[in-house]
């Protein structure tokens, strides 16, 4: 039986549309678009340039950390410490610069702190067999406590001789009036997408999440890669902490409090599977965008902000339900 060129093209088109409509990320994008359209018509303040600027800037901090979390969740792990790591790295940056060191030294100290924490988490999980939930839950408390010790639980708002440089780094808009945090988010998303899609490291990450035992048998260096993904996740929290410090212009020990839940929610809503083996950079971004649109819409519609957790939690449950239904259809 011969297959014509038209049949081949038709099959590819059918496969493309089937994949698209079965993609959770696609439907989250649709939800974000519909929500934005609805809010644009029902409120006078949503579609204003100031509000859209604030939304795009606010979403970046969760999105940047969610990009790192995507690596961890693809391997079947989880990191509950990212909010506290963000806080500690922000405080290390602030205290270092407050002591008179330049912005370069402050950023280096913050990033090294993040990498050390990520390596510590990864080694306990990969080499000693500790459950990721337990290790990162412990680090959530440790990192927050260290941030309090570093600052004596005070607000740091003076950043030494490079004070203005730090504020420009996080609060400026160097290109086409786009907020700097958004530019950083886009660059990091492109890097994440490239690594996951086109590199051997990315393929190994998916292999570990798909079947860790099989990955080990095929020669994948499972333990070093697990350490690496926790370092990447902590590094993303450190980067977000640096950017957020420059945006806020001050650091308190409450910064990043509860952020881990928003980050995990963004990743799962965007299509990542907590069981491992599934996740994309785009999914992390659109998941974070949906959470921020929900948060922003509550105030504009006059809904009590205390409902935010209900809406976000409902979105997580719907995302998991969507994944279960998709797997059920594929198994038939």
Domain that holds residue 108: 48-256+275-280
State residue 1's pLDDT score: 46
Report how many domains make up the chain.
1
Q: What is the pTM of this model?
A: 0.90
Q: Does a structural domain hold residue 262? A: no
Q: Which residues contact 236 (CB under 8 A, 6 or more apart)?
A: 64, 65, 67, 68, 69, 82, 188
Per-residue pLDDT band for 123 (boundaries 50, 70, 90) equals very high
Q: How far apart are CA 263 and CA 80, in angstroms?
A: 9
Q: Would you call 115 exposed, middle or buried from its count of C-beta atoms within 10 A (0-12, 13-18, 19+)?
A: middle
Q: Does a structural domain hold residue 165? A: yes
Percent of the chain with pLDDT over 90: 58
How confident is the model over 287-291, as a mean pLDDT? 91
Q: Does a structural domain hold residue 93? A: yes
How confident is the model over 282-304, as a mean pLDDT? 87
Q: Does a structural domain hold residue 232? A: yes
CB contact at 8 A, 171 and 249: yes
């Amino acid at each position: 039986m011969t297959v014509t060129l038209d049949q081949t093209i038709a099959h590819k088109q059918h496969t493309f549309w089937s994949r698209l409509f079965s993609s959770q990320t696609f439907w989250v994008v649709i939800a974000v678009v519909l929500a934005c359209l609805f809010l644009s018509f029902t409120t006078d303040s949503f579609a204003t340039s100031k509000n859209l600027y604030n939304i795009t800037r606010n979403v970046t901090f969760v999105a940047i950390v969610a990009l790192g979390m995507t690596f961890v969740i693809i391997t079947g792990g989880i990191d509950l410490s990212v909010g506290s790591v963000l806080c500690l790295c922000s405080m290390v940056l602030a205290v270092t610069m407050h002591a008179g060191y330049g912005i370069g030294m402050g950023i280096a100290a913050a990033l090294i702190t993040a990498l050390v924490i990520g390596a510590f988490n990864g080694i306990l999980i990969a080499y000693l067999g500790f459950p990721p939930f337990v290790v990162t839950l412990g680090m959530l408390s440790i990192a927050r406590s260290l941030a309090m010790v570093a600052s004596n639980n005070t607000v740091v708002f003076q950043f030494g001789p490079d004070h203005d440089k730090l504020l420009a780094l996080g609060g400026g808009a160097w290109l086409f009036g786009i907020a700097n945090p958004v530019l950083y988010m886009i660059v990091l998303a492109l890097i994440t997408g490239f690594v996951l899609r086109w590199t051997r490291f990315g393929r190994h990450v998916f292999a570990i999440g798909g079947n860790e035992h099989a990955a080990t048998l095929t020669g994948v260096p499972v333990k070093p890669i697990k350490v690496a993904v926790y370092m990447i996740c902590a590094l993303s929290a450190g980067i977000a902490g640096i950017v957020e410090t420059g945006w806020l212009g001050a650091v308190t020990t409450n910064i990043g409090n509860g952020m881990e839940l928003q980050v995990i929610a963004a990743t799962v809503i965007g299509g990542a599977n907590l069981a491992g083996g599934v996740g994309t950079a785009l999914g992390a971004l659109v998941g974070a965008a949906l959470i921020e649109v929900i948060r922003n819409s509550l105030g504009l519609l006059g809904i009590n902000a205390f409902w935010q957790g209900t809406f976000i939690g409902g979105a997580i449950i719907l995302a998991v339900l969507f994944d279960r239904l998709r797997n059920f259809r594929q198994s038939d």
